[in-house]
Amino acid sequence: MSGLVEVIDGGIGNSIQDAGRFGFRHMGIAVSGCLDLLLARCANALVGNAPDSACIEIRAVGPALEIKHGRVRMALAGNLCATLMRGDGRSRQLLPWMSLTLFPKDRLEIDTLTGGTAYLAVTGGIRSPLQLGSRSTYQRAMIGGIDGRQLATGQLLPCATQEHRQYHESQSVPWAYADGPIRVMPGPQEECFKPESMQTFLRAEYRVSAQQDRMGMRLQGPSLVHVTPQAADIVSDGVTPGAIQVPGNGQPIILLADCQTVGGYPKIATVISADLPRLAQLQPEQMLRFCAVNAAQAKAALRAREAQWETWVSGIAFGLANVSALYNDPTAGWDCAGE
């Protein structure tokens, strides 16, 4: 038996994403996938999914969902809450970092995010069709998600159902990224910039502008100067999420998951893999700094992040939940004592 979730209101800026679509970049197809892969992993882990399962990425006005079929466990990861209205009219809050099981006619209204990115995972992952090896929504080519579109009213999201009458709800501490500058590796076109501009880039503060989407994020700050005006345009070469390109106006743009595959602006530096998810949590007007690391440091940072993830997962606490108690008592939820 499978679960089915109806989108009552798509909200704004929400999409189905998984770990991304690989193997098609030579055809101009973006890699896409969750902007904050770690938070998506957390949400998935809280409902017992494989870490890379497809989930809902929430970027602005949260969606409203209703269970059509099956018992569907859900969990939010990120800095927002949701209101759960049970089919019998009672309501309660769904906090992030804990799972909760919903039943047919239950409705979940997810709050609006003031910035950053959050994820909602459901039992078994969202089982929308795989396209080119991924469920990630890529609007530009109208692939992935449901009909290649963002979450929209009336869409039906297939998922799995909670089979057993008794199971464990889960709860965890919030995932937290370390503070500090965003770590980059210089290049690949650092020689297109005056040496003092590289110093500026690594010393100055940059402001995150409101001009951002899943393709990229514009920053505002001290202008970065190319060695010659001609150096602001290069013969296009490969780009990647995290690459920081600087057009003629000297203001950097960080490319994100839906970025194009090649580009003609020189790239002063590239954000390391360990810090890529942190970009998804930057809010407009926030200030940020960069610092340069080498390949060995980037590797160590990625290993440290994976170790942090293992620790976080092992810290998930489970409590036995009783389905009928849950359903009848709106205040019931996660119960550490179990039965």
Least distance in angstroms from the C-beta of 68 to another protein: 27
Q: Which of residues 23-42 bind another protein (CB under 8 A)?
A: 23-31
Calculate the dihedral angle through the C-alpha atoms of 232, 237, 240, 246, rounding to the nearest 10 degrees.
0
- Decide: is 229 part of the binding site for another protein (CB under 8 A): no
Q: Is residue 242 part of the contact set for another protein (CB under 8 A)?
A: yes
146 binds another protein (CB under 8 A): no
* Residue with Cβ nearer another protein (163 or 191): 191
Q: CB-side exposure of 178: number of CA atoms within 13 Å?
A: 12
Residues 102-141 that bind another protein (CB under 8 A): 131-132, 140-141
Which tokens in the block code for residue 59? 């970027």
Does 261 participate in binding another protein (rule CB under 8 A)? Answer: yes
Instruction: Report residue 3 as tokens.
Output: 């679960």
Q: 320: which strand partners? A: 168
Residue whose tokens read 């990115």:
117
Q: Is 54 in the site for another protein (CB under 8 A)?
A: no
Question: Quick check: 142 binds another protein (CB under 8 A)?
Answer: yes
To another protein, the closest distance from the beta carbon of 198 in angstroms equals: 15
Q: Closest approach of Cβ 264 to another protein, in Å?
A: 9
- CB of 94 closer than 8 Å to CB of 83: yes
Q: Which uninterrupted H or E stretch holds 183?
A: strand 182-186
Phi then psi dihedrals of residue 311, to 5 deg: -60, -45
Nearer to another protein, 104 or 188 (CB): 188
Residue of the chain from 200, 220, 260, 322 that contacts another protein (CB under 8 A): 260
Does position 51 interact with another protein (CB under 8 A)? The reply is no
Choice between 188 and 319, CB closer to another protein: 188
* Residues 6+ away with beta carbon under 8 Å from 139: 15, 148, 149, 150, 258
Contact flags string 273-312 toward another protein, x per CB under 8 A: x---------------------x--xx--x---x------
What SS3 state is found at 313?
A: helix
Q: Phi then psi for 31, rounded to 5 degrees?
A: -75, -30
Token representation of residue 292: 């340069």
Interaction between residue 239 and another protein (CB under 8 A): yes
Alpha-carbon distance 260 to 31, whole Å? 9
For residue 328, give the DSSP letter. H
Q: Which residues bind another protein (CB under 8 A)?
A: 22-31, 131-132, 140-143, 184-185, 187-189, 234-240, 242-243, 260-262, 267, 270-273, 295, 298-299, 302, 306
